[in-house]
Amino acid sequence: MAEPTGPAKQGRPSMTSSMRSSSFLKEHQQYRPPNKPENHYGIDTVVEDIQSTQISAPRAQISPFNGIPSPENPPKIVDGASHELSHPNCTTTPGTNTNRLVATLFYRSSAPRISNVIPSPQRASSPQRAPGSPKVAAVDSDIPPTMAPSSSLDTFPLEPPATEPEPLDHLYGSHISPMCITSFLHLMSTFPLPPNSPEPSSGHRCLKLGVTPEHHPEVVELTLAPAPSADYLSLADLRKHELIYRFEREWNVDVALRADTLWRRYPRLVVFDMDSTLITQEVIDLLAATIKDPPDLAARVADITHRAMIGELEFDSAFRERVKLLTGLPAGIFEELRPALDVTNGVRPLLKALKRLGVKTAVLSGGFLPLTSWLAGELGIDYAHANEVVVDETTGKLTGEVKGRIVGKERKRELLIEIAEKEGISLDQVIAVGDGANDLLMMDAAGLGVAWNAKPRVQMEASARLNGDSLLDLLHLFGFTEEEIKQLIA
């Protein structure tokens, strides 16, 4: 017997696929704003129906560059046409001169700046000094020891130093990051160019990679064309510009600016200071440390040395004063100090590389000739000049007098020029490296003066600054890559 059929069970209302649109908002919103164009496409349309919606005009197809022959674009010979495989950045047209600026950026990996404002995930912030606690030592402060203190204006009523810029390298990477390069290029674009200059262009190449597994760049060379107008700002003034200095502090880098000339890549003479440059110590401080009576002699000599190096004291008079304090030392003390000399990291491979390149070397020291001559022989340096002390022939001890002219700042400049003339070398092909105020005239006479972990005044006056842990970085200023340097010192 057939069961009676009742009415069919009504299902829940729903939208079929034919009733659906491509917009969730169009299906569910109750109010549609007036004056809204019908062809407006919201983000929901882009996400849900991007294939059926054309938001912008199709991009024009870019034809491949075929200026240089390749398997995909073989060369074609056309009668009456001139084909050249050159580019404006590679060579200049006849009658024009190259006007390029080379900037070498060195990341200070051995001296990171730590932010106290924005925490770093890798490093803790610098400790803060509690009220009433003793002042932090000068070596622990970013403020040079010769500047006015900012803690007590009563004792030294001068305007305090400006606030240091916030370091950015701990945010964007402890290396030469793409943001660092972009920031530098933006900075350089603010300087005016010479009249009727072509469109500015730039290129960069990495000269040295870090030792970390990521191998981030630590030394990068940038070439900018054209260089900023010399009528507006000379290269010497550009190197000391406030914006360049602030950029270095923000990104924890050293910026070396040089005109892109032939002599930049081919130096022929490199002149070094000795104390705190070729070696890590001051020889006269080592001598003073051997004298036990009076007990404070070493500290007194070290203080005079420091004040002379930062330019507070005239070097010649300060040197005579220190030598006078060494009266009575045996003449053989110089031989005893030879094993104590600590050669700066990177000096030996650097001198080996310079010798293979045919570059002459010299050491001009404000120290003592017995040790300077011995060190020059050990390192293979071609020229050595320093001060000669008077020795009493009867007692064999130092008299506290100096023989002849003191090798101070004027004498160092004269010796550099004499050596260059003797070798027939233009001063444009001379590099001078030093750390103290008595090296400034020598560095100014050379084609490039390099301040190596120098005193604040020397850092500001020198043409280039290096504050790394290896003097071998000097070769990067010539444009050598890390691979090329390894070939030179192999």
201-209 vs 217-225, strand pairing mode: antiparallel
Is 412 a residue whose pLDDT tops 90?
yes
3-class SS of residue 432: strand
Q: Is 137 exposed, middle or buried (0-12, 13-18, 19+ CB in 10 A)?
A: exposed
Q: How far apart are CA 274 and CA 376, in angstroms?
A: 10
Contacts of 397 (CB under 8 A, 6+ apart): 327, 328, 329, 330, 331, 391
Q: How far apart are CA 312 and CA 123, in angstroms?
A: 36
Q: What is the pLDDT of residue 1?
A: 52
Q: Is 460 exposed, middle or buried (0-12, 13-18, 19+ CB in 10 A)?
A: middle
383-391 vs 360-368, strand pairing mode: parallel
Q: What is the pLDDT of residue 466?
A: 94
| Beta carbons within 10 angstroms of residue 260's beta carbon | 16
**Residue 318 confidence class, pLDDT cut points 50, 70, 90:** confident
Q: What is the pLDDT of residue 479?
A: 93
CA distances (Å), 133 to each of 48, 129, 138, in order?
A: 64, 7, 15
Residue 284 per-residue DSSP state: H
| Residue type, position 428, single letter | D
**Residue 61 confidence class, pLDDT cut points 50, 70, 90:** low
Per the CB < 8 A criterion, the answer to whether 149 and 155 are in contact is yes
Per the CB < 8 A criterion, the answer to whether 366 and 402 are in contact is no
Q: How far apart are CA 218 and CA 215, in angstroms?
A: 9
| Residue type, position 324, single letter | K
Q: Closest Cα to residue 442, out of 379, 366, 343?
A: 366
3-class SS of residue 142: coil
Mean pLDDT of the chain: 78
Is 488 a residue whose pLDDT tops 90?
yes
Mean pLDDT in residue range 467-485: 95
Catalytic residues: 273, 275
Residues 131-151: tens digit of each pLDDT? 444 333 333 344 444 444 444
CA distances (Å), 404 to each of 193, 319, 344, in order?
A: 51, 13, 29
Per the CB < 8 A criterion, the answer to whether 202 and 185 are in contact is yes
- 51 phi and psi angles, rounded to 5 deg: -75, -30
